[in-house]
Amino acid sequence: MTEQARAVRLMIFDVDGVMTDGGLYYTDSGEELKAFHSLDGHGLKMLQGTGVKLAIITGRTSRLVEHRAANLGIDYLYQGAHDKLATFDELLKAAGVTAAECGYMGDDVVDLPVMRRVAFAASVPEAPQIVLDHSHYVPTRAGGHGAVREVCEIIMQAQGTYDAALAPFLR
């Protein structure tokens, strides 16, 4: 797993079930709500600070995901991606990287085509067994509850950038 994580120059995340708990919350007026964990957000910012680019590929379309991505400075955002592999191929061109330089974190079978192409694949503990079977790493925390942070830290540890990312907070 360390060797795979060391190769990551672009880390891609699904949203529902990975960056959130997977619940779909709606108000009476039909507005969608999602909860994002602040630990995940800081992990993403630390990882990005080490030079790893970040992307989101999600099958759903939501303005609040757009806001979250902008707030975190996510480099690439693809919503409404019903064919995640085709979107992944588009992302590779846009980012100027190869699949061997990418990581992907998903939680369901729709994520498998991309997970099977990247150097480093991660999932969440609640994912179906087939998804877990195709993961290089499964964090102990649940989706939307710090799982993304764990994956960011694993990548930084594998790349030898974790201590430097923490140094400003340990003065």
Residues making up the binding site = 14, 16, 107
Give residue 73's Cα distance to chain centre.
13
Q: Which of 110, 60, 118 is nearest to 91 (CA)?
A: 118
CB 151 within 8 Å of CB 52: no
Q: Which residues are annotated as a binding site for Mg(2+)?
A: 14, 107
Q: Which residues are annotated as a binding site for substrate?
A: 16
Helices (H), the chain: 2-6, 38-49, 63-72, 84-95, 112-115, 129-133, 147-159, 162-166
The interaxial angle of helices 63-72 and 38-49, nearest 10 deg, is: 50
Q: Which of 49, 35, 33, 55 is nearest to 104 (CA)?
A: 55
Q: Which of 36, 47, 96, 106 is nearest to 71 (CA)?
A: 36
DSSP string, 66-81: HHHHHHHT-SEEE-S-
